[in-house]
Amino acid sequence: MSSVGHSKTEKLLLDTDIGTDIDDAVCLAYLLAHPECDLLGITTVTGEPEKRAMLASAICRQAGREVPIYPGAEHPMKVLLKQKIAQQAEVLGNWAHETKFPSGEAVEFLRRTIRAHPGEITLLTIAPLTNIGLLFSKDPEIPRLLKRLVMMCGRFFEPIPDGYSALEWNAIGDPHASDIVYRSSVKLHRSVGIDVTSKVVMSADEFPNTFRDEPLFQPILDFAEIWFKDFSGTTFHDPLAAATIFDDVCQFQRGTVDIELQEGENQGLTRWSPDSKGRHEVAVNVDAPHFFEHYLSTIRQAEK
């Protein structure tokens, strides 16, 4: 599948921990398929970032796209690494992919690319925020040069969704990086938390039935078998965050997010304070049927 020209495109950078939960791969497929997405590059983060880069490469290869991919930070700034391996790499041998990537250059790649397109780039983060915390620390002007920052991150409202804790994985994966990112001033700083993403779910049976005939999804179906060995379905956390860039699938509320940094069981907790003048906005609900219609139509139209 070749790149699709479009009169209005969104320049986008993706930071991902693809290779653990299958929703990162599902998100990447959406970005590659969307005619308005100009994907400028991908960075990976957490344990085995090189293998995560290979997984991203396999999907890009399947899409017929050449996208710059940079393995990023493996270890958080201060806390211990929680996500040590990329489980889906077990089946990488089934799919063509790049095996060599620039080493130690992910943050510089992000910095250089954003500076080359001031005010034009959406940075989409669907992973623990180590790369982005390092980026904002290295070049404090970068947040102001972004068009917007969109994150799958946090939990902001009660009650806690069934099956989830009060803590959200991306926020706690590197709480000190999360704190840096949430304290930064971005023109549009958006979080889609598990309060909302938990409402867009697909079962392990429905997933292959839905995507079996989609060429772009062939490696993803293979990767998904690893995920479904341990889980009865998948939640479209990351694809939902991505979809908010291109479609009004969610409603948002403005306020301020603070990160709990004190060591203990609540380290990384996202604390939400509504404020009409706050520097953040968080998703408050989702039109789930509309989201799935939008997602599936994007994938299927791209294959025509």
- Separation of alpha carbons 184 and 168, rounded Å: 20
> What confidence category does residue 86 fall into, taking pLDDT thresholds of 50, 70 and 90?
very high
Q: In the sheet that 121-126 helps form, which strands lie side by side, from edge to edge?
A: 69-71, 37-44, 10-16, 121-126, 148-152, 189-192, 280-286, 250-259, 270-274
Are the CB atoms for 299 and 29 separated by under 8 Å? yes
Is residue 159 predicted with pLDDT exceeding 50? yes
- Separation of alpha carbons 114 and 225, rounded Å: 36
Are the CB atoms for 38 and 9 separated by under 8 Å? yes
CA distances from 2 to 127, 132, 211, 243, 275 (A): 27, 30, 20, 21, 44
Percent of the chain with pLDDT over 70: 97
Q: Tell me the pLDDT tens digit for each residue of 197-220.
A: 999 999 999 999 999 999 999 999
Average pLDDT, the chain: 95
Give residue 4's pLDDT: 34
Are the CB atoms for 132 and 181 separated by under 8 Å? yes
Choice among 3-12, 147-156, 201-210, 283-292 with the minimum mean pLDDT: 3-12
Neighbours of 17 (CB within 10 A): 27
Q: Mind listing the domains of the chain with CATH numbers?
A: 10-302 (3.90.245.10)
Are the CB atoms for 25 and 42 separated by under 8 Å? no
Angle, helix 130-138 to helix 175-182, in steps of 10 degrees: 50
Choice among 5-9, 88-92, 102-106 with the minimum mean pLDDT: 5-9
Is residue 95 predicted with pLDDT exceeding 70? yes
Give residue 2's pLDDT: 31
| Cis peptide preceding 219, ω within 30 of 0 | no
Q: Tell me the pLDDT tens digit for each residue of 238-249.
A: 999 999 999 999
Helix (H) or strand (E) holding 268: none
> What confidence category does residue 5 fall into, taking pLDDT thresholds of 50, 70 and 90?
very low
> What confidence category does residue 303 fall into, taking pLDDT thresholds of 50, 70 and 90?
low
Give residue 162's pLDDT: 84
Give residue 304's pLDDT: 60
Polymer length in residues for the chain: 304
